[in-house]
Structures are given as structure tokens and as C-alpha cells.
Amino acid sequence: MRAWYRFLINFFLVTAFMALMSILKVSHIWGSKAAFFSLANSIRPLIGLYGGLPGVFLYLIIYLIKAFLTGHVFSPFIFHLPTAFSVLYWANRSWIIRLAVPLACIVLFLVHPVGFQAAFYTLFWLIPLGVYFMPLKGIFLHALASTFIAHAVGSVLWLYWIPMSPEMFAGLVPIVIVERLVFATGMTLTYYMFESAKQLLQSLACHKLSKKSC
């Protein structure tokens, strides 16, 4: 099977499952009127794992086209740029994404007057930094790091463009803990589900073909 064919299958399988999971809402996005996080947020980052860098660009292109067609360009930027960073986390092992991005988010958050008063909120972003320096990392830890990188980027964007207060960030702490654990767990379960499905498909293909071709 050609590489581009595998890429398209993987990308559209993840996208289809993501569309299904978008029905299940997890939590309301504070500061927005009608926006919610859904279980699709726990699956989107895996586009980077199964689609690589082409998957990242395809993800952004799809949402840019959707933004221009709906006439809402800025809101998709706010909502989907954080996810793009978590997709990039899975697409490559660059220290820029895994180390520099959360560090930059901490700095940008603390130099903001409101962010400085809610400095405790940046403790969440020490998680991807800790995972980066761990010698052994399982899928769940990678999932946890990627979802908190998305959280870091999204929180900084939200802080600079949406009126927030230190009290609001304090109220978000328990929500973020549950929300990100749900996303990381969903990502981990989805990963193993896709790996099992791939093994099953390979077994079926090998059963139909001769043993030599397998």
C-alpha cells in the first residue's frame, strides 16, 4: 500500500471518528457564548501521529476553508490554533513544540497584568516540561503533555483577547484537571483502538494474500 494512500486512510479515519465524538460535549469554554469542548478534542491531536506534518497542514487548511466559507475567521483561529500545536506535538519530536512553547506560554501569561495575579494557573504547563525530561514516556504521558500544550496556547490567546479575571482562572482549576484528564485518557484509548484496528486489518489482508507477500 502506498504511503500517500495510508496517510489518507489514517487521516480520514481519525477525522470521521472525531466528527462522531464532537457530539459529546465535555465542558463549556469560559468567556464564550456558546462554545464547548467535546470529546473530539481528545482525538484531534492524533492527526499528527497518524498524518505527520502533512496531517497538520491538512487540518489547518480544512479549518481555514471552513472559516472563510462561514465568514468567521478570527474565532476558528482562537479555537483551532491551540489544537494545531497539540497536533504538532505528535507529528514531530522538536524541542520547540515540546519545551519552548509551554515556556513561552508561561512567560506570556505572567507578563499580562491579570495573568500575573493568576500565576498559579501556569503550574499546569509544567506538566509538558516534566514529561519532556522523562527518560521513559508512555502514550498516556504523551497525551497528557500534548493536551496541556494545547491548553497553554489556548489560555494565553484567551487571556489577551477575552476579558478574564484572576477569580475566573481560579474557578477553572478543578474543571481543567478533570477536562484534561478526560482528553488524555480519550487520546490514549483512541490510540490503542486504532492500533488494534490496524493489526486486525493487516491480519485480514495477510490471510487473503499468500504468506510470502506478508
Residues composing the chain: 214
Using alpha carbons, select from 172, 175, 101, 173 the residue that is nearest to residue 131.
101
Q: Are 152 and 107 in contact (CB under 8 A)?
A: no
Q: Considering its fold, how many domains does the chain have in total?
A: 1
Inter-residue contact 56 to 204 (CB < 8 Å) = no
Please check whether residue 212 lies inside any domain of the structure. Answer: no
Indicate whether 161 belongs to any domain.
yes
Q: What confidence category does residue 184 fall into, taking pLDDT thresholds of 50, 70 and 90?
A: very high
pLDDT digits (tens, 9 = 90+) for 104-125: 999 999 999 999 999 999 999 9
Instruction: For residues 191 and 140, give the distance between their C-alpha atoms in angstroms, rounded to a whole number.
Output: 10
DSSP string of 131-160? HHT-SS--HHHHHHHHHHHHHHHHHHHHHH
Q: Does residue 210 lie in a domain region?
A: no
Q: Which domain holds residue 23?
A: 3-205
CATH number, domain with residue 140? 1.10.1760
Q: Does 160 reside within a domain?
A: yes
Report in angstroms the alpha-carbon separations of 78 from 58, 93, 98, 162, 168.
18, 24, 20, 10, 19
Residue 63's identity, in one-letter code, is Y
User: Taking phi first (over 0 means left), then psi (-120 to 50 degrees means alpha), and beta for anything else, what does residue 100 get?
Assistant: alpha
CA distance 139 to 143: 6
Cell 464532537 found at:
22
Cell, residue 147: 493536551
**214 in any annotated domain:** no
Task: Say if 11 falls within a structural domain.
Answer: yes
Average pLDDT over residues 168-184: 91
Mean pLDDT over residues 58-70, rounded?
A: 71
Could you report the per-residue pLDDT of 13-57, keeping only the tens digit for each? 666 655 555 545 554 444 444 444 555 667 778 888 877 777 777
Grid coordinates in use for 64? 481555514
**Dist. CA 132–CA 126, nearest whole Å:** 10
Q: Is the pTM of this model over 0.85?
A: no
CA 172 from chain centre, in angstroms, equals: 19
